[in-house]
Amino acid sequence: MRKLEKKYVNELAVVGVHSAKFPNEKDTGNLNNAVRRYGLEHPVINDAEFQMWQQYSCRAWPTLMFIDPLGNVVGKHEGEMTFDAFDGLIGQMVTQFDADGALDHRPLPSTYRRSEDTTLSFPGKVLADGLGDRLFIADTNHNRIVITSLGGAVKQVIGSGEESMADGGFAGCAFNHPQGVVLDGETLYVADTENHAIRRVDLNAGTVETIAGTGEQGHTRDGRRPGRAIELCSPYDLLHHGGVIYIAMAGVHQLWSLDLDDGMAGPFAGNGREAITDGFLGAAELAQPCGITTDGVKLFFTDSETSSVRSADIDPAGRVQTIVGLDLFVFGDADGSDHHVRLQHPMGIAHYDGVLYITDTYNHKIKRVLPATRSAFTILGTGAQGHTDGAADQAQFSEPSGISFANGKMYIADTNNHAIRVADVDMGEVSTLQITGL
């Protein structure tokens, strides 16, 4: 859509209608944050009560309505649409309505205002390295990776800040809204989400190179191909284990694997259909996995659209199993065990000291998940959106999305607060990391 808006700047008017699935997304303040996070310059309507959804007889996300210059609905498309198909259709409409003299090419007035800049901008994921005294922050909307000490002093910045895709040295390379990062010695791997690519960072040499993805969004759901030749779809988080990078491939509802020895990449778990269905790795159904971790035997992942936490055996003959979570439209905020647990679009996950910890993102909480008992319990956050430090049961977050551990402390990417929060695991006290030197 962004490419179309730029190409047809004087012909195409886009109006977004936000008919939210999750309660957290119905809040106008949260919607405004999302608009800023995705850099949308067109107007967006908060259709919290589904009034416009019903008036236009919508049945699916997304639904595209095509309206002519006179205000008449002339077409409808349900589901995703490729740029080429969309571009061809808009081009034909422009030609037709220009010939009819109906198209007004004057620029539309806009009330768009760029957000005030902050030290970090919607940080999505974080990785703590206790031995190296390093914190790797995906400074997502600044299109860069920031490396600080665990105390917050900036050590390095990777990326020019340009929203682009370029390999090279730290100052000249470019990302597009990076998310998950994983460390292997002095090599950092980055899920470059909106470039649909995996990037390899040599921390000693100070260089970045692309090892998977072409820069174009793909829809491949089967088969393995050389990483540099295969198109990815919104890689969101990464895990390194046994010479393999496991990828939470949110855009096609799968987990992928990238073999670092031969460079081959392809699906590892999930058939690509959006649902919550357990079973053998290739037959299971996932729904927008956004976080991934491991205990060395199983992969654990947050399946965000089903508000669930699930596991996948590392053994290729293994299975996918749901730990907590029930369905695409079953969500909430309830601690407990088994089918009594309710989460709301969890995104971040980490395995620490034999336990899983998740960011229950839309509930603005951090929770502990116990796979053996299929239970989940709140450990940080009141559930109210805010930015409050202090005791565990008084702390407030705003859509936390990433989590990592080092030296007995939990580091949290508090996305909408543009901050990194630090929690003492034993004491339960939450503070905001003061980043200096940026």
Helix (H) or strand (E) run with residue 97 in it: helix 83-99
**pLDDT value for 253:** 98
Work out whether strand 16-18 and strand 44-46 pair parallel, antiparallel, or are unpaired: parallel
Q: Which residue has the tokens 């490419």?
A: 3
Contacts 24+ apart (CB under 8 A), 42-49: 42/5, 42/13, 42/14, 42/15, 42/16, 43/15, 43/16, 43/111, 44/15, 44/16, 44/17, 44/18, 45/15, 45/16, 45/17, 45/18, 46/18, 46/20, 47/17, 47/18, 47/19, 47/20, 48/20
Torsional sign, CA 328, 334, 337, 339 = negative
- Tokens 């997502």 appear where? 140
Q: Tokens 């991934």 appear where?
A: 292
Q: Nearest 5°: phi and psi at 6?
A: -70, -40
Phi, psi of 36 (to 5 degrees): -70, -40
List the structure tokens of 35.
């608009």
Please name the residue that has the structure tokens 């460390």. 183
Omega cis (within 30) before 62? yes
pTM of the predicted protein model:
0.93
Contacts 24+ apart (CB under 8 A), 172-177: 173/207, 173/208, 174/143, 175/143, 175/144, 175/145, 175/199, 176/143, 177/124, 177/140, 177/141, 177/143
Report the pLDDT value the prediction gives residue 233, as an integer from 0 to 100.
97
Closest CA to 126 of 380, 435, 383, 354: 435
pLDDT of residue 428: 86
10-residue mean pLDDT profile of the chain (438 residues): values are 91 94 93 90 94 94 93 91 90 93 88 84 98 98 98 98 98 98 98 98 98 94 95 98 98 98 97 97 98 97 98 97 97 96 98 96 98 97 97 97 97 98 91 96
Task: Write the CA distances from 359 to 179, 363, 394, integer angstroms.
Answer: 15, 9, 16
Q: What is the dihedral of CA 265, 268, 270, 273, to 10 degrees?
A: 10
Distance CA 4, CA 177 (A): 19
Q: State the DSSP H helix or E strand holding residue 30, giving kind and residue range, or none if neither.
A: helix 28-37
- Please give the pLDDT value at position 335: 98
pLDDT of residue 426: 85
Strand order of the sheet with strand 289-294?
279-280, 319-324, 308-313, 298-303, 289-294
Q: pLDDT at position 82, please?
A: 84
Side by side, which strands form the sheet with 197-202? 168-169, 207-212, 197-202, 187-192, 181-184
Q: What is the DSSP letter of 117?
A: P
Q: pLDDT value at position 256?
A: 98
- Contact (CB, 8 A) for 28 and 46: yes
Other beta carbons within 10 angstroms of residue 414's beta carbon come to 27
How far is Cα 411 from Cα 82, in angstroms, rounded to an integer?
38
